[in-house]
Structure 1
Amino acid sequence: MGGYLRHDGLPGGVDTADTRPGVEPRPAGTPRIVGIVWGLLILNTLGSAGAETIIPLPRSLIQMVTMGALVAAFALALTVNLRLRFRASAFLFLLTLLLVPSLISSAHLESGFGALFRCGRFALFVGTLWLLSRWWDGGLTFVRHHIRMYFAVLGSVAVGAVISPGAALPEIYGGRLVGALWPLTPPQIGQYAAVIIGLTVLLVLGRRTDRTSAAVVIVPSLVLLALTHTRTATLGMLIGLAVAIGSLILTSAAARRFFTWAVLCAVVAVAGFSSAMQAWYMRGQTQEYFSSLNGRAKVWDALLAAPRTTSEQVFGVGLGDKSFGGLPIDNSWLAVYHEQGLTGAAIVVAIIVVLAGVALLRPPSLSRACAIFLITYCAIASYTEAGLGDASPYLLHLALAASLLAAPAAAAHLPTPAVPRRRVPRWARRSEVS
């Protein structure tokens, strides 16, 4: 996806890089602190609104924790990358460009001073990704960080369900699983479970993890996903896995076997459990309510019908809480259009198209398959979930995809040190001649 923006020397050590033009130094390794920074970014995007928890947590306290996590992530990333060595990519360039309509629209203060605060948060989020891009080399290191952190989040959900099933399955959410220790909504939990299930399955197919470790992640995550009754996450996971595994079929026998067995299991499941699957999918809703996408269509129609000035159409009304008329928008494209205008929507389209295009051009590999899964999942979820225009888990998923699509860093070509010639005594040379 790009090359290094070289400054002078490797971060945190002696400069052993070749300074000749065109030579790209390779990182000596990914420091452990990078994983901590990635975990802090995930903590920042968990959000502060959701179900009631067992121990009531003030929203101000939750926001303090999430914002503190972002500030700490930026500070740690800066500490580990003091030489400001970046790896340029089209994804990061477009993400930075998205700040422009965000700032222009938020400066009008139509959404209040909170819009400027969200712009600052978004800028800090993007800056942290730039600092971490130093270690984007197409490897699976960030995939493992992603799985571990979200599995820890799901662990807190499971603990909350064990401690207080009533709080974890409240009637206000129709008996769907929520976070009882940290305020997480069913769509959030479903998203986290679906993403780590898909990534873990791909790691198993690529023989990058054993089946026992994978089962420890996949089985409980599947249970939590089923308890959330989240249709978007389930469909995104299944379609994303189908596309990702399809990209490996020609080069992986394990992928071919898994795909065959998955199709057979799907046929059996549909034939034997169609009524149960339909009941789970409908969640007890009427056909009319389901056809209106749980009432989302009414909000979308009202948003599109609202009068807008030319400036609002081009740049939006400023970063907000992804709502319109007090109701959630629940669509990434309409949320971006509302807050960042047609300019922001065009940039987000470019981000998806660029990532998908690069993925198609890369040769088949496990990293490419993981990136395809993430891109497909985010594209599907964008229809009923907001988050592609601001700091969110979806942008983190796409950042992970960008790191997987980055070309491996070229090894630094160090000049071969000159070996001094051993002087041969004159009498020895005479003996060799004789």
Structure 2
Amino acid sequence: MGADHTPKIAGTVWGLLVLNTLGSAGAKTIVPLPRSLIQLVTMGALIAAFTLALALNVRLRIRPSAFLFLLTLLLVSSVISSAHLESGFGALFRCVRLTLFVGTLWLLSRWWDGGLTFVRHHIRMYFAVLGSVAAGLVVSPGAAMPDLYGGRLVGALWPLTPPQIGQYAAVITGLTVLLVLGRRTDRTSAAVVIVPSIVLLALTHTRTATLGLLIGLALAIGSLFLTSAAARRFFTWAVLCSAVAAAALGSVLEAWFLRGQSQENFSNLTGRAKVWDALLAAPRSTSEQLFGVGLGDKSFGGLPIDNSWLAVYQEQGLTGVALVAAIIIVLGGVALLRPPSLSRACAIFLISYCAIASYTEAGLGDASPYLLHLTVAAALLATPAEATTPATPEVPRRHIPHWARRSEVT
């Protein structure tokens, strides 16, 4: 089935999944929102997404997917690790959430066909989220860029942190650039998305998102280099503009990149390295090494882990790390084996972005925007349903009975 046959309600399901993964912790909003209310909204969105997906796919028609199979194994591993209750009953609640999340993805897999439908859903939903961020900046600049976060942009209407906003802005910017290069959208529509997204990204001072955008786009456009003249022109102009900007604005770019930090603070990744060292040095039983301590809030000693691999090691053990690595490797391997195309380029961008961001951001082992990014990549790499249906072999004419042959007389 083609992308045009994907029901419109699937976009609503995708939007609800995006809402569920926005999280409940972040900056103080203009109108204080109790965390319990935010959690009720996000969990309600997930339940609604699963219910709608089930209503869309009552016959439970799904498409085989190595990505979803590995994600299901990760869920099983999470349940095993959380059953010991080392992280409390909250771990079991997070397992239920992950179960609904993965179940919804299985139900949506029926419409994965290698088309750009879910890319467009992805861009629309996160652009709406960025719209709320921009509205908060206009309504209350002080609340949107508080001193608590060093003047970096946060969500003033919904509690979003600078890294979250930077991630959303970088991902939809990269995808929209690729759609323009593939002539799947016009330049005016693309500018409406790209320009404000880049402005918001700059205001967040998020280095990981910026590097992920640049490196991810370089790899994605590189995959189109031999087959797309537009990609070659864009790459050439991007290199020239980067060289000019580096020469003319080198000091400004360095100041933006350092964010006023000392070299020592920058070298230990804003204190992350200390948390990582403490996590790795902590004593663990064999069971904890293999399966972790159960799904938690991605923190250690009360401080955020901010590394997907170490967060997975802490909560799902070496088993979880192996499964997450397998997901990245399988998606990357399939992308490399596909012939050059716009869908392949978008998938490469998303996979590479998630791989880069995993070093300083957590989320690959639980329901998160990063898993949604990888899900879009998996949908882009899926083989169209028509191509999987074997063609009916043609019966030689000599084997057709004379009475069954159509008359050749017109």
Gaps of 5+ in 2: 395-402, 404-408
Secondary structure at the counterpart of residue 123 of structure 2: helix
Aligned length, in residue pairs = 395
Q: Deviations for 1:236-292, whole angstroms, at most 9, x for unmatched residues?
A: 000000000000000000000000000000000000000000000000000000000
- Tell me: CA distance 1:27–1:83, structure 2 relative to 1, closer, same or farther (3 Å): farther
Spell out structure 1 runs of 4+ moving beyond 3 A: 25-28, 411-416
Question: How many angstroms apart in 2 are the aligned matches of 1:217 and 1:105?
Answer: 41
Q: For 2:38, which of 59, 62, 67 is the aligned residue?
A: 62
- The alpha-carbon distance between structure 1 residues 26 and 215, as it changes in their structure 2 partners (threshold 3 A), is closer
Unaligned 5+ runs, structure 1 = 1-24, 422-431
Aligned with residue 270 of structure 1, among 238, 246, 250: 246
CA change 1:30–1:65 in 2 (3 A) is same
The correspondence for 1:251, drawn from 202, 227, 240, is 227
Report what 2:93 is aligned to. 117
In the aligned structure 1, how far is the partner of 2:380 from the partner of 2:161?
29
RMSD: 1.6
Match of 2:56 among 69, 75, 80: 80
Give the AA of the match of 2:267.
S
Residue-by-residue CA offset, 1:150-186 (whole Å, 9 max, x unaligned): 0000000000000000000000000000000000000
1:364 corresponding residue in structure 2: 340
Pick aligned residue for 2:184 from 208, 213, 232: 208
1:223 to 176, 181, 199: 199
1:328 matched residue in structure 2: 304
Aligned match of 2:123 in 144, 147, 153? Answer: 147
Q: Which residue identity is paired with 1:401?
A: A
Q: CA deviation at 1:26?
A: 7.0
Letter paired with 1:35: G
> Bigger shift: 201-210 or 98-107?
98-107
Pairing partner for 1:162 from 122, 125, 138: 138
Question: Helix, strand or coil: the match of 1:52?
Answer: coil
Larger gyration radius, structure 1 or structure 2: 1
1:26–1:260 distance in 2 versus 1, CA, 3 Å: closer
Change (3 A) 1:151 1:281: same
Aligned-residue sequence identity (percent) comes to: 82
Q: Is the 8 A contact 2:3 2:116 kept in 1?
A: no
Cα displacement (A) at 1:94: 0.1
Report the CA distance between 1:100 and its aligned residue: 1.7
Task: Give the equivalent residue in structure 1 for 2:258.
Answer: 282
What's the TM-score, normalizing by structure 2? 0.94
Would the aligned equivalents of 2:3 and 2:117 in 1 still touch at CA under 8 Å? no
Could you tell me how far 1:27 is from its partner in structure 2?
Answer: 8.3
Cα offset, 1:414, TM superposition: 10
Q: Aligned to 2:111, which of 135, 159, 164?
A: 135
1:107-130, Cα deviation, whole Å (9 max, x unpaired)? 000000000000000010000000
SS at match of 1:219: helix
In the other structure, the counterpart of 1:312 is: 288
Assess if the C-alpha contact under 8 Å between 2:2 and 2:115 holds in 1: no
How far apart, CA to CA, are the structure 2 residues paired with 1:135 and 1:107? 34
Which structure has more helix as a fraction of its residues? Answer: 2
Q: Tell me the CA shift for residue 410 of structure 1.
A: 1.3
